A and B are shown apart, each in its own frame.
Chain A
Amino acid sequence: MAMTPEVYRNLFKKRATILYPFKERELIPIPKGLRGKPSFDLQKCIGCSMCLRVCPSETIEMIDDEEGKRPKRPIFRIDRCTFCAQCEDVCPTHAIVMSNNFELAGFDRKQMLLK
């Protein structure tokens, strides 16, 4: 019966959970440096393909650059991403930065393309 006092105390405490996703969304603690959906800035990209080499899950594909500024440019298939952030670490111009967006569920894989 060692837990009885604790159980009674908890009756008068605020609940530990959050009513996600419909209410109290703002209460979710998002720490600085969360590895969420990657964001990509094409203007900073120099087309070095370093991100392609470290990606473990074939998320990144190098395609021809429509602007012709760089040899190749990456596109990201976020449905395959494991959010390890190795591409962010290796990017020499900080074109890839992990955002804190973690709500990534969807119905169509084709729409999960980051250009």
Chain B
Amino acid sequence: MSDGFQIIVGPQHPALKEPESFTFTVDGENVVKAEVRIGYAHKGIEKLAETKTYIQNIPLVERICGICNVAHTLCYCQNIEYLYGKEIPRRAEYLRVIIEELNRIHSHLLWVGVAGHEVGFDTLFMLVWRDREVVMDLIEAMTGNRVSTALMTVGGVRRDVTPELEQKLRKGMDILEERTKYYRKVVLDERSLLQRLIGVGRLTSAEVVEHSAVGPTARASGIKSDVRSDDPYAAHDEVPFNVISYDSCDLFGRTVVRVDETFEAINQVRYCLDHMPSGPIRMRLPNTPPRGEAVSRVEAPRGEDIHYVRSNGTDKPERYKIRAPTLGNLSALVEMLTSKGDYQVRIADIPVILAGIDPCMCCMDRSVRFVEPAKDREWMLDWEQLKQYSRRN
């Protein structure tokens, strides 16, 4: 603990309705030090995954994150397919890209709305969210649910795109493109928005590399890192797209990157609809994958999502490990929230900087550190202790 006046923000509702706690040391209006404390929403998903079969785990993995559920299920299913060593039908891979990009459109538009709300510009929030309903309806028509898509399965996808739905998707993409063009203009021109975004939440490209930030946060600092182009999965090796990056290293850059990525996503959906091969959408695989381990990476709307699985030859995974993108961005967030040199962080800018990495704290909490402040003691449970605690007596 350092000297100075401290403000504690959270764990209830700091900017976003998610539990995480921040301790800010302030000097007047400036934040001189930020400490983050996470671990309030440890859900035990990894442990639960070990008690369920591979097919039962798909809806579980989907519930790691509501907004990027497609990225997590895609990462999971891909991972299990790596265990089998099988390639799924090409049409299924195209369908996976379509739903993944629809998910990205919905997530990025959601973020633009949230950013508007955090800077006190609720008109933008209302209008963006109204137009976001277009993509939500398309996801619902394609999968049967607005948010939890449940489209992925091990070996392919569960529903096909009918010609009727294809027309709907094309029409929806046209509406979304027109509206996103308008919002791009707003983001670039609206004075009240620019004043709250330019120069706020600075993160240099050297800091991105040092803190291994991922996703739009890294791309807004000029680092062109995107799993879709670095290590193509599904049909991304065929579907062309530009890796959007911006070099302003601030919140404005993050906003522009997200808006421009929405255009790229719209074009990818169109390309997939135009060039979709015919054939089956699903390959039947046996219930038990062979012994082994696999790692799979997917570019979620928030950044790189990593899943690891170890199979012992039974119908349940022996170990499942998830690294959600927000964990990669968290130490960079502390950097953004600390004033240094000519870069000053104001207290009023805290919420929008927090929202700037598009955090998903509940997706990220994977480990717990126990703290006993009275005795100044900190400890973690090791693997054997965790196993002991998890056994039912």
A contact set with B: CB distance below 8 Å: 1-3, 6-7, 10, 16, 29, 31-35, 53-57, 82-86, 89, 98
**For the complex, is B141 an interface residue (Cβ under 8 Å from A)?**
yes
The answer to whether B55 touches A54 (Cβ under 8 A) is yes
The answer to whether A56 touches B59 (Cβ under 8 A) is yes
The answer to whether A85 touches B144 (Cβ under 8 A) is yes
The answer to whether B59 touches A33 (Cβ under 8 A) is no
Q: Given A3-B123, A16-B130, A98-B144: A56 and B57 within 8 A (CB)?
A: yes
The answer to whether A3 touches B124 (Cβ under 8 A) is yes
Count class of interface residues, chain B: 20 to 34
Per the bound structure, the CA–CA distance linking A31 and B172 in Å amounts to 15
Q: Which of A2, A54, A98 has the most CB of B within 10 A?
A: A2
Per the bound structure, the CA–CA distance linking A16 and B126 in Å amounts to 10
**For the complex, is B275 an interface residue (Cβ under 8 Å from A)?**
no
The answer to whether A86 touches B55 (Cβ under 8 A) is yes
Other-chain residue from B59, B140, B186 in contact with A84 (beta carbon distance below 8 A): B59
Per the bound structure, the CA–CA distance linking A16 and B127 in Å amounts to 10
B58-77: which have CB < 8 Å to A?
58-60, 62-63
Q: How far is the CB of A97 from chain B (nearest CB, A)?
A: 12
Q: How far is the CB of A76 from chain B (nearest CB, A)?
A: 15
The answer to whether A53 touches B58 (Cβ under 8 A) is no
Tally of A-B residue pairs with Cβ under 8 A? 65
Write out the residue numbers on chain B whose beta carbons fall within 8 Å of the beta carbon of A2.
185-186, 189-190
Closest residue on chain B to residue A86 by CB atoms: B55
20 contacting pairs across A/B (C-beta < 8 A): A1-B191, A2-B186, A3-B123, A3-B127, A32-B141, A34-B140, A35-B143, A35-B144, A35-B150, A53-B53, A54-B56, A56-B57, A82-B63, A82-B148, A83-B148, A83-B150, A84-B59, A85-B150, A86-B55, A89-B158
The answer to whether A3 touches B186 (Cβ under 8 A) is yes
Q: How far is the CB of B250 from chain A (nearest CB, A)?
A: 20
Write out the residue numbers on chain B whose beta carbons fall within 8 Å of the beta carbon of A85.
144, 150, 158
Write out the residue numbers on chain A whose beta carbons fall within 8 Å of the beta carbon of B123.
3, 7
The answer to whether B159 touches A33 (Cβ under 8 A) is yes
Q: How far is the CB of B158 from chain A (nearest CB, A)?
A: 6
The answer to whether B137 touches A31 (Cβ under 8 A) is yes
Write out the residue numbers on chain B whose beta carbons fall within 8 Å of the beta carbon of A98.
144
The answer to whether B144 touches A86 (Cβ under 8 A) is no
Write out the residue numbers on chain A whose beta carbons fall within 8 Å of the beta carbon of B150.
35, 83-86
The answer to whether B133 touches A57 (Cβ under 8 A) is no
Write out the residue numbers on chain A whose beta carbons fall within 8 Å of the beta carbon of B186.
2-3
The answer to whether B60 touches A56 (Cβ under 8 A) is yes
Closest 10 CB pairs of A and B: A35-B144, A2-B189, A56-B56, A31-B141, A56-B59, A84-B59, A84-B150, A2-B190, A16-B130, A2-B186
Write out the residue numbers on chain B whose beta carbons fall within 8 Å of the beta carbon of A33.
141, 144, 159
Write out the residue numbers on chain A whose beta carbons fall within 8 Å of the beta carbon of B140.
31, 34
**For the complex, is B145 an interface residue (Cβ under 8 Å from A)?**
yes
Per the bound structure, the CA–CA distance linking A72 and B239 in Å amounts to 48
Closest residue on chain A to residue B56 by CB atoms: A56
**For the complex, is B52 an interface residue (Cβ under 8 Å from A)?**
yes
Write out the residue numbers on chain A whose beta carbons fall within 8 Å of the beta carbon of B130.
16
Other-chain residue from B58, B124, B145, B191 in contact with A83 (beta carbon distance below 8 A): B145
